[in-house]
Chain A
Amino acid sequence: MKQKNRLKSRRAFLKTGIFITGAVVIGTGLNYAIRPDTQPIARMLTHYLDYPDLAIQLGGSLIKNEPALAQLTLEQMTELVLQDVGLKKDQLSYYSLLTNMDNYRKAIHKDFDIENIVHVDGWVISRTEGHLCALLYLYENANGRHA
């Protein structure tokens, strides 16, 4: 039940975010730069993931398994996740956030195509997905939800 409510609130947030973003886009043009704060960007990116408990678990395990990821801060992990689809934090626009979903789909599709995958806790996921899970893990930790 807790997870369902959480999912519901996360989806509501995403829908609201998309609505507001859309309004801003219409109002100010597609290349309006957003303030490059890590937290909102991370929050937006991690909303691509359903069932956050499992995603957080996978993210934590991946960080534990891969020393290179373990050294990253939330900000660095956010940048890594953006890099996976060719974006930089200071180049973000609302438009790019809106279209990120499709960019991630493409990146994940390509990962599986070229075997850019990770094995984590019995799951086989794309590296891009792994990075998203790791970002969610760090984001939740940063907000004190999964210490």
Chain B
Amino acid sequence: MCASNVKTVQFRRIINAHLNYPSDSQEKYTTAMFIDARELDQGQHIKADICIIGAGAAGITIAREYIGTSTKVALLESGGLEIDVKTQSLYDGENIGLPSFPLRSNRLRFFGGTTNHWAGHCRPLDPIDFEKRKWLPHSGWPISRSDLDPFYRRAQPIVGLGPYEYENLAFWQSKINQPDLPLKESRLKTVVYNQSPPTRFGMQYRQELKDASNISVYLYANVLDILTNESATRVTSLKVACIDGPEFSLSARTFILATGGMENARLLLLSNSIAKNGLGNDNDLVGRYFMDHLLLRPGADISFSDPRLNLHLYDAVHEVAGGKMFAILASPEVLLRKEKLNNFRLHLIKAKPKTADADGRIFSQLDAVPGAEDHRLDDLPERKMNKDFIALHLVLEPTPNPDSRITLSDKTDLFGQHQINVNWQMKDNDLSHAHRAMELAALEFGRMGLGRAYGEIFKDSSRWPRNMEAGKHHCGTTRMTDSPKTGVADRNCKVYNISNLYLTGSSLFPTIGYANPTLTIVALALRLSDHLKGLPA
């Protein structure tokens, strides 16, 4: 046994200890396919059929699709099985646009990726989100919701969700017996949201991947450069390095970049030894159209006229049929089209008011179904005691903006690689969309006779409220479109003009609707793996 093999076995013992495997199990050693890349030899060359860069939700999903096949898969992960400071520092960069969260901490760079700290909210994008909307510049996916529907269904259990019944509110209500609000459906509707446990992909699927003899997971393996042929039309190999270890290379038939909404763009831009502007960047599109959800938490507080109102469908998570759900409010497509609105959702959160400092039950006497015999609430003890408000949290789809972009910074990381500058920008009309979304909610709560809305956004509609924040859903920097003039990847997620380089993850999203991205990320990953399996070997 050569020295490097001895080291590998030693490391596998350590990894196995992490995984609670018996350290004396020779069988585990022979099947264990978690490899500490720091133990590889300097200059070592690795071969695989498919190489996936990044072991987050997308990368792990694709790797799992190949378990039990004859395809040799190499899954490269920058970090280890747990977070470590040095690796996490590779995410350093600077927010030079709108204020956002620190780049080092809002993404996680170890096995499982950012699913190691996600909240678990899930819903497919709406059909309208995939459409080219005339009022929404740069909108339109090259695929439709119906193209993705079968993959959403398959993604559902992978993410740890129950029945795929997003469009069937009655299904859930029949099981939990909670009423929905009597909304004017041309204005707002109750929408089903699912809640993942949340599934930590790195924990949930570690064993499966470890047991798969055809999957090799390389930990601490940082891809520094994607190397191509002279015409930059085919990827030949990867230059990979460890922070405290060797540099090595990896060649494969197919390469899949699955490093997230920011790093996918960064790695393409960094890979500029042949293509001077970076790979896939002939039209200066890599890194542009960076998007994040626009959040107001809260956008408004609703002061209730009647504290007896049952909002459990919305303000609690219900365990039903092997899954968890809650409800949100959203506008119907017909209204979005009529008013030319970006898509949005509203969460109803039981909370003390953050923005309202006055008791808004001015109109309690007047809030009732007209004709009601007795609506006086003076004697209700809850009325005197209960000062709870419902906070309406807004999640707004941003307008795609080519000037909102990720570029390479002059600053460098531990490898001497350029960090990123994130110039997050929004369009002026995003504010008017937010204002209208909150106004629609105010109208409905007033119309239903439930309460009145107070919000900073209603005080001054010319500026964003101070509590506007990002959703930490980084999207759009390598968008998929039907033309290389408008996008980086085609409908099959292949980088234009490069025959064997594919992208996956939220960087592909041309628009992002209001839904959290993880379910769509997993669905797209499944679709990509199906596509690749269908290609000639």
Binding site for B on A (CB under 8 A): 11, 48-51, 53-55, 57-58, 101-102, 104-106, 108-109, 111-113, 115, 117, 119, 121-126, 129, 133
| Residue pair B367, A105 in contact (C-beta under 8 Å) | yes
Q: A124 — nearest CB in chain B belongs to which residue?
A: B442
Q: Evaluate whether A51 and B449 lie within 8 angstroms (CB atoms) in the complex, with A105-B368, A117-B443, A121-B459 already known.
A: no
> Chain A contact residues: over half helix, strand or loop, or mixed?
helix
Q: Could you pull out 13 A-B pairs where Cβ atoms are within 8 angstroms? A: A48-B365, A48-B366, A50-B364, A54-B360, A101-B365, A105-B367, A109-B449, A119-B461, A121-B459, A122-B454, A124-B443, A124-B452, A125-B446
Q: A129 is contacted by which of B366, B455, B458 (Cβ under 8 Å)?
A: B366
How far does the alpha carbon of A102 sit from the alpha carbon of B456 in the complex, in Å?
A: 31
| Residue pair A124, B446 in contact (C-beta under 8 Å) | yes
Q: A115 is contacted by which of B364, B443, B461 (Cβ under 8 Å)?
A: B443
Most chain A CB atoms below 10 A, which of B184, B356, B447: B447
Q: B446 is contacted by which of A53, A106, A126, A133 (Cβ under 8 Å)?
A: A126
| Residue pair A129, B363 in contact (C-beta under 8 Å) | yes
| Residue pair A105, B458 in contact (C-beta under 8 Å) | no
CB distance from B383 to the nearest CB of A (A): 10
Query: In the complex, which residues 358-417 of chain B have their Cβ closer than 8 Å to any Cβ of chain A?
Result: 358-372, 378
The 8 A CB mask of B222-264 against A (1 = contact, 0 = none) is: 0000000000000000000000000000000000000000000
| A133 cross-chain contacts in B, Cβ below 8 A | 362
| B454 cross-chain contacts in A, Cβ below 8 A | 122-124
Q: A47 — nearest CB in chain B belongs to which residue?
A: B365
How far does the alpha carbon of A53 sit from the alpha carbon of B439 in the complex, in Å?
A: 24
Most chain A CB atoms below 10 A, which of B360, B366, B367, B458: B366
Q: Evaluate whether A122 and B455 lie within 8 angstroms (CB atoms) in the complex, with A54-B359, A108-B446 already known.
A: yes
Q: A112 is contacted by which of B369, B370, B443 (Cβ under 8 Å)?
A: B443
| B455 cross-chain contacts in A, Cβ below 8 A | 122
> Chain B contact residues: over half helix, strand or loop, or mixed?
mixed
How far does the alpha carbon of A35 sit from the alpha carbon of B300 in the complex, in Å?
A: 44
Binding site for A on B (CB under 8 A): 184, 300, 355-356, 358-372, 378, 439, 442-444, 446-447, 449, 452-456, 458-459, 461
| Residue pair A117, B446 in contact (C-beta under 8 Å) | yes
| A122 cross-chain contacts in B, Cβ below 8 A | 355-356, 454-456, 458-459
| B368 cross-chain contacts in A, Cβ below 8 A | 105
| A105 cross-chain contacts in B, Cβ below 8 A | 366-370, 372, 449
CB distance from A139 to the nearest CB of B (A): 15
Q: A58 — nearest CB in chain B belongs to which residue?
A: B362
Q: A119 — nearest CB in chain B belongs to which residue?
A: B458
Q: B459 — nearest CB in chain A belongs to which residue?
A: A122
| Residue pair A123, B453 in contact (C-beta under 8 Å) | yes
How far does the alpha carbon of A105 sit from the alpha carbon of B449 in the complex, in Å?
A: 8
Q: B447 — nearest CB in chain A belongs to which residue?
A: A112
| Residue pair A125, B366 in contact (C-beta under 8 Å) | no
How far does the alpha carbon of A113 sit from the alpha carbon of B459 in the complex, in Å?
A: 22
| Residue pair B365, A50 in contact (C-beta under 8 Å) | yes
CB distance from B335 to the nearest CB of A (A): 13
Q: B364 — nearest CB in chain A belongs to which residue?
A: A50
| B439 cross-chain contacts in A, Cβ below 8 A | 124
| A58 cross-chain contacts in B, Cβ below 8 A | 362
| Residue pair A54, B363 in contact (C-beta under 8 Å) | no
| Residue pair B442, A54 in contact (C-beta under 8 Å) | no
How far does the alpha carbon of A125 sit from the alpha carbon of B439 in the complex, in Å?
A: 10
Q: A124 is contacted by which of B184, B367, B378, B458 (Cβ under 8 Å)?
A: B458
How far does the alpha carbon of A123 sit from the alpha carbon of B370 in the complex, in Å?
A: 23
| Residue pair A124, B363 in contact (C-beta under 8 Å) | no
| Residue pair A54, B358 in contact (C-beta under 8 Å) | yes
| B356 cross-chain contacts in A, Cβ below 8 A | 122
How far does the alpha carbon of A119 sit from the alpha carbon of B444 in the complex, in Å?
A: 15
CB distance from A10 to the nearest CB of B (A): 11
Most chain B CB atoms below 10 A, which of A11, A51, A57, A106: A51
CB distance from B153 to the nearest CB of A (A): 39
| A109 cross-chain contacts in B, Cβ below 8 A | 370, 447, 449
Q: B363 is contacted by which of A11, A57, A108, A113 (Cβ under 8 Å)?
A: A108
How far does the alpha carbon of A124 sit from the alpha carbon of B436 in the complex, in Å?
A: 12
Q: A102 is contacted by which of B300, B371, B453 (Cβ under 8 Å)?
A: B371
Give 18 new A-B contacts, CB below 8 A, not counting A50-B365, A105-B369: A49-B365, A51-B361, A57-B358, A101-B366, A108-B366, A108-B446, A108-B449, A109-B447, A111-B446, A112-B444, A117-B442, A117-B443, A122-B454, A123-B458, A124-B300, A124-B452, A124-B453, A124-B458
| Residue pair A49, B362 in contact (C-beta under 8 Å) | yes
CB distance from A31 to the nearest CB of B (A): 22
| A121 cross-chain contacts in B, Cβ below 8 A | 459
| B456 cross-chain contacts in A, Cβ below 8 A | 122
| Residue pair B447, A50 in contact (C-beta under 8 Å) | no
How far does the alpha carbon of A102 sit from the alpha carbon of B439 in the complex, in Å?
A: 25
| B355 cross-chain contacts in A, Cβ below 8 A | 122
| B446 cross-chain contacts in A, Cβ below 8 A | 108, 111-112, 117, 124-126
| B359 cross-chain contacts in A, Cβ below 8 A | 51, 54
Q: A14 — nearest CB in chain B belongs to which residue?
A: B365
How far does the alpha carbon of A26 sit from the alpha carbon of B368 in the complex, in Å?
A: 27
